[in-house]
Amino acid sequence: MTHVTNELEKQILGSVSAASDEAALEAVRVGALGKKGQVSELLKSLGAMSPDERKVSGPLFNTLRDRVTDAIARRKTELQSAALDARLASERIDVTLPARIEPQGTIHPVSQVLDEVTAIFADLGFAVAEGPDIELDDYNFTKLNIPTDHPARQMHDTFYVAKQADGSRHVLRTHTSPVQVRTMLKTKPPIRIVAPGRTYRVDSDATHSPMFHQYEGLAVDEGITLGHLKWVLEEFYKAFFEVPKIELRARPSYFPFTEPSVEWDLRCDRSVPGKIVFGTGNDWLELAGSGTVHPRVLAMCGIDPEKYTGFAFGGGLDRLAMLKYGIPDIRPFFESDLRWLKHYGFPALDVPTLDGGLSR
């Protein structure tokens, strides 16, 4: 009898370990322990035995059943964990791999500089204001103290737009200064805004494009002086050029909408060809026009010049980009040459902030 059970056990356990998945194992189980299984049949045969035979065979058969049951359970656990391992391996993601960013485009230097300028002025408490590219002649000139017959109109080589049916006249704005007018007409002081945007003049050479960009600043409140203006500009240029120290030089100038008017130059070193260092050196770079807002402009925009004063400033945004990023010619700015854009453009996810660093 021992011989029979040993043989059977060897055979069944062999099939158990050969079962390569749970379905195969289940078939082995049914073949051994199922209703008509080999082991079940042996157990059934106990009933027909004499008590003496049963005493010998009973423990043998029961041991066999227990061993087979254990072996099947163990194999089942093995198969399950192997299946789980296989599944985990097939679903594995390596979260340590860097995200694959392959941006197709770049941020244009003008957009980058525009973001930098607004980030700095926002930090100084200036809100961003905007106006339309096609502007009323009245806002572009008249309310800025440039009446129709004023010679300053000739200084702006203006693109005129055909007269409207109601007699009003539009121009492509020649500067961002009309945003000053729009802001003062709709808000009461205190006012602190910066207005970057597109501007247009009939002009084209290496440093002039018929479409270009300016930034405009305006602060109106009680007791505003040119001292406030100087501090704001110093803070701005220091942050913009990312240098610890700068030196500004004021030059008397003339703009119809400011009185007095001041132009600002920045000390720099251009002794090494193709390179500019800001803050030191014996060269001066013209940066911005500015001044105290003309009382007539305040009055035309509905602000009491007896009570309020203001400062305004404006300069070229493209020019700032050229200076900061060493771009020699303005024309390719607007030619959409992919090689130029790749070379001078900025990574798309690199948004300038003061605490994160303005430029990369």
Q: Which residues from 188-217 bind ligand DAH, rule CB under 6 A?
A: 216
Choose, by CB under 6 A, the member of 290, 294, 319, 324 that binds ligand DAH.
290
Choose, by CB under 6 A, the member of 197, 256, 314, 352 that binds ligand DAH.
314
Separation of alpha carbons 221 and 185, rounded Å: 15
Tell me 22's DSSP state. Answer: H
Integer angstrom CA distances of residue 319 from 33, 207, 209, 330:
89, 8, 11, 8
| 106 belongs to the binding site for ligand DAH (CB under 6 A) | no
| 237 belongs to the binding site for ligand DAH (CB under 6 A) | no
CB 212 within 8 A of CB 318: yes
SS3 262: strand
Q: Which is nearer to ligand DAH, 47 or 252 (CB)?
A: 252
| 258 belongs to the binding site for ligand DAH (CB under 6 A) | yes
Q: How far is CA 33 from the centre of its chain?
A: 67
Q: Which is nearer to ligand DAH, 260 or 279 (CB)?
A: 260
| 140 belongs to the binding site for ligand DAH (CB under 6 A) | no
| 264 belongs to the binding site for ligand DAH (CB under 6 A) | no
Q: How far is CA 30 from the centre of its chain?
A: 64
CB of 315 to ligand DAH, least distance (A): 7
| 313 belongs to the binding site for ligand DAH (CB under 6 A) | yes
CB of 166 to ligand DAH, least distance (A): 27
User: To which H or E segment does residue 231 belong?
Assistant: helix 226-241
- How many chain residues are in contact with ligand DAH, going by CB under 6 A? 11
* 124 CB-side CA count, 13 A: 27
Stretch that binds ligand DAH, among 80-88, 164-172, 278-286, 310-318 (CB under 6 A): 310-318
Q: Which is nearer to ligand DAH, 132 or 279 (CB)?
A: 132
| 289 belongs to the binding site for ligand DAH (CB under 6 A) | yes
| 182 belongs to the binding site for ligand DAH (CB under 6 A) | no
| 291 belongs to the binding site for ligand DAH (CB under 6 A) | yes
Choose, by CB under 6 A, the member of 141, 212, 255, 278 that binds ligand DAH.
255
DSSP letters for 276-318: -EESSSSEEEEEEEEEEEPHHHHHHTT--TTT-EEEEEEEEHH
Going by C-alpha positions, the residue among 36, 42, 39 that lies closest to residue 57 is: 42
Contacts of 32 (CB under 8 A, 6+ apart): 12, 38, 39, 40, 68, 72
Integer angstrom CA distances of residue 339 from 104, 123, 249, 345:
13, 34, 37, 10
Q: Which is nearer to ligand DAH, 175 or 182 (CB)?
A: 175
CB 312 within 8 A of CB 216: yes
| 312 belongs to the binding site for ligand DAH (CB under 6 A) | yes
Stretch that binds ligand DAH, among 105-113, 235-243, 289-297, 301-309 (CB under 6 A): 289-297
| 177 belongs to the binding site for ligand DAH (CB under 6 A) | yes
Q: Which is nearer to ligand DAH, 197 or 314 (CB)?
A: 314
CB of 288 to ligand DAH, least distance (A): 7
- At residue 337's C-alpha, the angle toward residues 334 and 339, to 5°, is 135
Beta pairing, strands 127-128 & 191-200: parallel
Q: Which is nearer to ligand DAH, 313 or 346 (CB)?
A: 313
Q: Which is nearer to ligand DAH, 37 or 314 (CB)?
A: 314
Residues in contact with ligand DAH by the rule CB under 6 A: 175, 177, 216, 255, 258, 289-291, 312-314
